Amino acid sequence: MPSRPLPEFSNSVKLKYVKLGYQYLVNHILTFLLIPIMASVSLELIRIGPDELLSHLRSLRHLDTVHVLCSAFLVVFVLTLYFTSRPRPIYLLDYALFKPPFTCRVPFSTFLEHSRLLSNFNQKSVDFQMRILERSGLGEETCLPPANHYIPPSPTMDASRAEAQLVIFSVVDDVLKRTGIKPKDVDILIVNCSLFSPTPSLSAMVINKYKMRSNIRSFNLSGMGCSAGLISIDLARDLLQVHPNSNALVVSTEIITPNWYAGNQRSMLLPNCLFRMGGAAVLLSNRRRDARRAKYKLVHVVRTHKGADDKAYRCVYQEEDQDGLTGISLSKDLMAIAGDALKANITTIGPLVLPASEQLLFLFTLIGRKVFNPKWKPYIPDFKQAFEHFCIHAGGRAVIDELQKNLELSAEHVEASRMTLHRFGNTSSSSLWYELNYIESKGRMKKGDRVWQIAFGSGFKCNSAVWKCIRTIKTSVGGPWDDCINRYPVHIPEVVKL
């Protein structure tokens, strides 16, 4: 008789459910181990009976008083040491985002018309910018500051300060109103803006505007790129660990006015097409009583810096072109360098957040490649097991595409990033907060949900922050998505023909 072919196991067995069973078993291994132990203890208690148990308890009366006091002291000492040495929890009370006025809107047609009217751009530069916009993933409602609407643009110091005041004061006013915090009650102030660093600093400008206390701890971060928002969060966390009963106001923005590039070097024309107005203000606290009204709790911040490598250091570089015009040059190696930085970052954050099932699979694969066959495909941990929401820096379509592919994320997982890029453009360090607000505005943020924020910046840096939602958040009101959230998500074609 001819032998019957073996069944196709990949079809007959639901491998997805096999993996789910494996994950459940490994992630709850302690529970499964404790059940037989507890059952054995219960059976032993039943066997000896209540009389013998009472006799054992009476025998404890004969213990020496000194022994009892020493034991009690030891217990109190250990508990005191534990509570005093554990890190203070960091709560995110609320945050506010800048919504540019409608008059600052820059449709593609306006952007290209202005570019053609500027005498310093040759036709090749105009065509190049048009091709970038067609493939950028940006929409028709992104905004540039008023000074960039002039022909030619007017990147003066006064215009730059005016943009900074418009953005920063708007978000600070809003977050103080949302949280009920008075300016004089702010203990720590951190402002980050990468490319506009005037004297006095932007943090001093905020202190002057709101007449904050003379003993406020203020910091102004510049030159740290699009990941500076998470660097500010990390700095605030460290300060809140050493200053009890305090709060911290973090302001993240990028001032666009002085950074318009008016030359024809292609690597410097990309920021013109991608960067747009935006800003965020975040209020953090280490007071335990604030846990009741906070939105999120900070779980981890992981920072990766690849600046020791020359290519990584120069891949986002401010310099002058051959005509002496200053701009930000983006290297062709940017995506490869970003991939290396991401790999180093997730290697650090993985053990902190991944369940045991994913860590064991990664470990077994790593051992297999080292011992048996180096050609084995490396196992990419399933970060969807660790997080419900992903906020990937909306630096550009290529950045989001690359992370979606490398982390094997679904379209829904990167929806907030793509829609933020479409509606607001690359707002630099504040883009992560627009994405978080998108998730809230869609009513998707539930109590216990975990959020992974990933940002890239010049230097080259990849930074991550992990937040845990403390309470189910109702649909966000008064944010930048209010008037358009019902239109999203929208289909974004690969190429928009202009």
Residues forming the active site: 226, 305, 389, 393, 422, 426
**CA distance linking residue 318 with residue 197, whole number of Å:** 14
CB of 247 closer than 8 Å to CB of 285: yes
**Distance in angstroms (rounded) separating the CA atoms of residues 79 and 174:** 41
- CA pair distance 492, 411, nearest whole angstrom: 12
Tokens of 231: 């660097």
3-state secondary structure at position 280: strand
Q: d(Cα 50, Cα 55) in Å, to the nearest integer?
A: 9
Burial per residue of 59-95, b for 16 or more beta-carbon CB atoms within 10 angstroms, e otherwise: eeeeeeeeeeeeeeeeeeeeeeeeeeeeebbbbbbbb
C-alpha Rg value of the chain to the nearest Å: 28
CB of 243 closer than 8 Å to CB of 187? yes
Residue pair 140/108 in contact by the 8 Å Cβ criterion: yes
Sequence length of the chain is: 498
How far is Cα 306 from Cα 338, in angstroms, rounded to an integer? 9
Alpha carbons 285 and 89: distance in angstroms, whole number: 8
Q: Cα 152 vs. chain centroid, distance in angstroms? A: 36
In angstroms, the CA 24 to CA 357 distance is 8
Which residues, other chains included, contact 302 with Cβ-Cβ below 8 Å and sequence gap of 6+?
A: 345, 348, 349, 352, 463, 464, 465
| Cβ within 8 Å of residue 271, ≥6 positions away | 259, 261, 327, 328, 330
